[in-house]
């Protein structure tokens, strides 16, 4: 079964990158400051920042004036980039990418459904940058989807 879920790790990662974006230009930011501002457990955040560094999204510097900074302009970092850096593929079915699945018989139509779902999720997450969020300026298609009353209901 497929369940679309944003992990705590992905949520914290996006919030940490966003915090770095709004502090950009003021030098490296200590993990403790990010953790305090975003109410993220510090030890958990350290692991996330390591993943973001390995993913090429942040840089780090040691020492008294050290900390973390974005490795790229916030306009060049999508929400999808951040999620992939800490969680891997954005949409999976039973832990596999939909393109790796095969179905037969009456279940065959499921594959294009999962592929379409993945395409839609990717379209949204790849279409929103950290700069968009920092500016409070989500793209119109995202604002329109969020404005639909049914989007806020739990079926």
Tally of CB atoms within 10 A around 91: 17
- In this structure, are residues 130 and 18 in contact, taking their beta carbons and an 8 Å threshold? yes
Q: What is the pLDDT of residue 6?
A: 86
Write the burial class of residue 122 (CB in 10 Å: 0-12 exposed, 13-18 middle, 19+ buried). middle
More confident residue, 98 or 126: 126
pLDDT at 104 over 50: yes
More confident residue, 63 or 128: 128
Q: What is the pLDDT of residue 1?
A: 40
* Burial track 55-88 (b if 16+ CB lie within 10 A, e otherwise): eebbeeeeeeeebbbbbeebeebbbbbbbbbbbe
């Amino acid at each position: 079964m497929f369940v679309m879920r944003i992990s705590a790790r992905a949520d914290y990662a996006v919030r940490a990158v966003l915090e770095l974006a709004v502090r950009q230009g003021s030098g490296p930011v200590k993990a403790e400051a990010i953790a305090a501002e975003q109410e993220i457990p510090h030890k958990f955040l350290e692991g996330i920042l390591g993943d973001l560094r390995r993913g090429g999204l942040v840089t780090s510097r040691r020492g008294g004036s050290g900390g973390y900074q974005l490795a790229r302009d916030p306009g060049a970092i999508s929400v999808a980039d951040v999620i992939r850096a800490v969680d891997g593929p954005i949409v999976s079915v039973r832990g596999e990418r939909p393109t790796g699945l095969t179905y037969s018989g009456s279940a065959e139509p499921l594959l294009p459904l999962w592929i379409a779902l993945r395409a839609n999720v990717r379209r949204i997450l790849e279409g929103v940058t950290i700069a968009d969020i920092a500016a409070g300026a989500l793209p119109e298609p995202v604002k329109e989807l969020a404005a639909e009353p049914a989007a806020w209901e739990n079926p």
